Structure formats: structure tokens, C-alpha cells
Amino acid sequence: MANLKGVHFMLPTPFHDDGALDLDSFDALIDCAAQTHCVGVVCLGVMGEAARLTDAERALVTERVVREAEGRLTVTVGATGAATDAGVQRAREATDLGADALMVSPPPIPKQNLDAVSAYFHAVADASPLDLVVQDYPAQSGVFMSAAFIARLTEELPTAHWLKLEDPPTPPKVTAVRTLAGDRLGVFGGLGGVFLLEELARGACGAMTGFAYPEALVETQRLMDAGDADTAADHFFRWLPLIRYEAQEGITLSIRKEILQRRGILSSAKVRHPGAAIDAATRAEMHALVDRIAGEA
């Protein structure tokens, strides 16, 4: 069992301005994660635009991330498939390429059908010995999993030691899941980190999210772990205006890539179409807010 407790930097997939994959920029992203004391990185998630990559591009991304992170950070690879076979195949590929853990969300199903969801997770878990992070993100997957279902599913699956909980309101669901599953299931926050403070207070073991200043989340968790909830709150709330700003529905990724470009980590803020780009006023707002928040931090 991998030790994934802590903050994981959810990697965007870098593109050149023409939309071509920019593998080289992964190095700076991973350096950023290492320097900010993240415990790991996650690639090929929703915010990695995984759905906009070809199968070949997926493999290139995994290879590069694994190679660059090796010995420094754990690598969790998104292996969600549009069907069970695809999920199994992606799980195998990530395993073969050297991932440390898999992140898997329910497949698209036309109607709420938890038996089908369960069968899918079993098939994926059977296909790889790696730790499995179950992703609970109904706004993306269309599947609602109750705390009771999650507890039962992760008990059945020998490798499902982790949950990425992105079903708001997240603080009460952290409590509900932990009440049922106890310490055998590590719960990560996500959703840009907007409720990280409360998630940690409820017993979350870290976060998997792509906020462009992971150091803010790492320090929040360090202070919470040190028992200094009050200073943690001070710290977190200082960053909150920017965390909130980045987490805007529909343009999160574009804002995030703009910030990462400003930080010198990405060479381009390109998001593949029809992913939304931000307008000039939003870019200006972002810069002013970063000046204010990241300057004083």
C-alpha cells in the first residue's frame, strides 16, 4: 500500500499555443510539486483534459510524468474509461508504465445504476495491484454514490484505500464516509481546495487538486497536522480569495494555466477547444489578485 497522505498536485496537461502536446513543460510542473513539498502528482484527470487526449498522447503523458517524478513524488494516473474494458486497459497501461496509484471515476451510464458501477470498479481493481483512488465527482461523472455505497465498495476492493471526494457539500460527506469506513479509507479533498480547511478538520488525509499555488495547501495541512488550527485558518483564509477566484465554474483550468504561465511553469496557457479561454478582463483580475495575495503570502 502506497502512502499517499498529503497534498497531490493535480497536473494540467500542457499544450503549445497550436494545441500540440508540450511534454517538456511537465518537468517544471513536477519541479513545482516537489519544491512546494507535495507528496505526489496526479495526471490524466478532468483538469488534465484527459478526455481531450488521444490514447497515444495519454501514454506519452504517463511516461513523462513517471520518469520525471521518479524518486521524488508519487504518481497517480487517471484511468477512468468510457467503458469497463477501457478502464481495465488504462489501468494496465498505467501500471506497466510505472504509476504508483490509479484514480478512477465511475463510467458514463445513462441511468443511476450502482450495480454496474460496482462491477466496473471490481474489473478495474482486478486488473492492477496498484492502490486505487476512487473519484467521487458526480458533476462530472453523472453518478451519485452515497457514503454507504462508497464504504461498501471500498471495503470489497482490496486496493481501494483512497477516496477523492468531490461531491459538495464536502465537509459533511467527509464525516459521513469516515464514520462508516474509519481509517482504512484515506479521504482527499479536491474541487480546487475551496473547502480544504474544513475537510482536514473533518479528518481528510490531504488533497488532490490543481490550485496553482500548491504551497498554500501544503502549509495549511502542515499547520493542521501540527495542531495549530487557528494559524492554519489564518493562512488558508489569506489565500482564499485566489482559491475561490481560480475555482470558477467553466474557466478554472484556463485561469489556472494563466497563473502557471505567469509563474514561469507553463510556456502557454492554451486549453484545447471547446475548453473556454478567459477574456482580457478576467486575465487582468487574476493578475491583480495574484499580486495582492501571492505577494503578501
Binding residues for a copy of itself, rule: CB under 8 A, are: 19, 49, 51-52, 54-56, 82-86, 89, 107-114, 116-117, 119-120, 123, 138, 144, 146, 168-169, 171-172, 175, 194-195, 198, 201-202, 233, 237, 240-241, 244-245, 248-251, 272-276, 278-279, 281-282, 285, 292
The residue among 37 and 201 lying less far from a copy of itself, judged by its C-beta, is 201
Q: How far is the CB of 175 from a copy of itself (least distance, A)?
A: 6
State in angstroms the smallest separation of the CB of 70 from a copy of itself.
27
When the beta carbons of 16 and 70 are compared against a copy of itself, the nearer one is 16
Q: Which is nearer to a copy of itself, 36 or 140 (CB)?
A: 140
Q: Closer to a copy of itself at the Cβ: 240 or 294?
A: 240
Q: Is 63 helix (H, G, I), strand (E, B) or coil?
A: helix
β strands within 160-255, DSSP E: 162-165, 186-189, 206-209
Long-range Cβ contacts of 179-185 (<8 Å, 24+ apart): 179/147, 180/147, 180/148, 180/150, 180/151, 181/150, 181/151, 181/154, 181/155, 184/154, 184/155, 185/150, 185/151, 185/154, 185/160, 185/161
CB of 35 to a copy of itself, least distance (A): 27
Q: How far is CA 163 from CA 68, 73, 102, 277, 286, in A?
A: 25, 19, 11, 30, 31
219 CB-side CA count, 13 A: 17
Residues 6 or more apart from 99 whose CB is under 8 A from it?
62, 66, 75, 76, 77, 130
Rounded CA separation 215/195 (Å): 16
Q: How many CB atoms lie within 10 A of CB 203?
A: 15
End-to-end CA distance of the chain: 35
Distance CA 148, CA 153 (A): 9
Instruction: Using the minimum distance from each CB to a copy of itself, give the nearer residue, 74 or 254.
Output: 254
- State the nearest-atom distance from the C-beta of 82 to a copy of itself, in Å: 4
Residue 87 beta carbon to a copy of itself: minimum distance, rounded to whole angstroms: 9
d(CA 99, CA 231): 35
Q: Which is nearer to a copy of itself, 240 or 297 (CB)?
A: 240
Extract the C-alpha cell encoding 98: 510505472
Which of 73, 88 has the CB closer to a copy of itself? 88
Q: How far is the CB of 147 from a copy of itself (least distance, A)?
A: 11
Least separation in angstroms between residue 67's CB and a copy of itself is 23
